[in-house]
Structure 1
């Protein structure tokens, strides 16, 4: 999910990737960096985690939600995720199912237990806010290289870490963003910061990834994600814990019936 499956891992950079991200046009370099981010996060299979979502308004008032999330890696297409709300009581049992796709529009459904119905999220509504947070539905899809075209902007130090700064332009016609600027850690090829620009090309939101931990000696996951809306002053903080990998999840755990089975 830059989304809750978030891009990433530690590997030693070999000569071939090093050359590919330092040569060519700005567009070729940007694409090579994105491909390396994607390549380094392949092979984890399936995973689950606990998550706390804290919503903070402009006045600093907060409300929190307890969530479980499951992930399934899909070869040849985008990944699947299932998000289940456990608290507070008024939204307990609400579940969100997302099938990311490389080329076609993502498939997303929301189960509302109070209405006992599954609502499909239409392509035109994926820029809308997810459950009152500052994350849009489209932010919850997995990162897939072909969803964007790219441009390398510069090298830059961010909080004492050397990064590549690249620009992503969504290929999705209904995206709420005109572009994204991403700071990618040069050593681990993981995102540290993303700026989202709205359709008027004004800065809309900033997402920062904090407290990365490594799993299976390879895969990096940010245990805190902070989305700051620069236009309305609201913030959403996601704190993740209890990551488990390769626990035996399969497609049946992510079919539409899984929304109603979620407990």
Structure 2
């Protein structure tokens, strides 16, 4: 009986290995991305505080603080987020509203309290700098699986020293300032560890690194720090996150253009 069970386990492992070998790089890349998305979604809603630090090539820095809230709709097929700056005074009240979708282009609006109006971010504006940082407007959108095609390249050490990673090449399906991206997802918990961005000229223009992951609710991993380095200008921006709170009772009405002005 013991021998029979052992042979059964060996047969199942061999079948699983054979199935993995039978996958094309495209199928494997899509599967890994889908699994990473599945472990990160399903939280319902969350609120978090953030601090943004901008650094020039000479080392000069400036900081900004904000609050951000996110709501999942349709079982995670759509997300809405609202980021509002509260310090310093010259940027206080500036807000970015994002409606992200699985199967179509996302929508974004920027509220500028100095002029009291809401501006929609469209076309080439999505690749522009978000409030002077190294993050583009499109970088502030949930990077859902359906917005990209994925290709598995290989497994290798994570570039930030966080163990071993799957290296995927992903290509935007919709309008984007990036021609291509490389993403490193750790094999241990399927957390995004780094993203390399390539512009339309094929240059590696920016690199985003995530660190300080913590698990919330026994399931959801979130980073404490995200660092975006611009290789073309030498500038960088750090986003530091704190005070994650889940299932706070947010509603769709909290994510409208009218809510931005409030």
> Is the structural similarity TM-score above 0.5?
yes
Secondary structure of 1:151's counterpart equals strand
Matched, 1:193 2:187: no
**Which residue is 1:212 aligned to?**
213
Superposed CA offset, 1:63-115 (max 9, x none): 00010000111226331110000011111011110001122221111110010
Matched, 1:157 2:153: no
Cα distance in 1 between the residues matched to 2:223 and 2:197: 19
How far has the Cα of 1:216 moved from its partner?
A: 0.7
Per the normalisation by structure 2, the TM-score is 0.90
**Which residue is 1:54 aligned to?**
53
**Which residue is 1:127 aligned to?**
127
**Structure 1 residues 199 and 21: alpha-carbon distance in aligned structure 2, compared to 1, 3 A threshold:** farther
Cα distance in 2 between the residues matched to 1:105 and 1:167: 20
**Which residue is 1:32 aligned to?**
31
Superposed CA offset, 1:166-211 (max 9, x none): 0000011x20111110110101011101100001111000000000
Which of the pair is proportionally richer in helix?
2
How large is the Cα RMSD of the aligned pairs? 1.8
Cα distance in 2 between the residues matched to 1:210 and 1:107: 28
**Which residue is 1:249 aligned to?**
250
Identify unmatched segments of 5+ residues in structure 1. Answer: 1-14
Secondary structure of 2:260's counterpart equals helix
Alignment of 1:45-84 (within 5 A): 45-75=44-74, 77-84=77-84
CA contact (8 A) 2:124 2:177 kept: no
**Which residue is 1:7 aligned to?**
none
Which is bigger in relative contact order (C-alpha 8 A, separation at least 6)? 1
Q: Which shifted more, 227-236 or 154-163?
A: 154-163
How far has the Cα of 1:123 moved from its partner?
A: 2.7
How far has the Cα of 1:124 moved from its partner?
A: 2.7
Cα distance in 2 between the residues matched to 1:237 and 1:20: 41
CA contact (8 A) 1:81 1:99 kept: yes
Cα distance in 2 between the residues matched to 1:150 and 1:107: 23
**Which residue is 2:235 aligned to?**
234
Per the normalisation by structure 1, the TM-score is 0.90
Superposed CA offset, 1:136-180 (max 9, x none): 1111111211100011001101215011000000011x2011111
Secondary structure of 2:223's counterpart equals strand
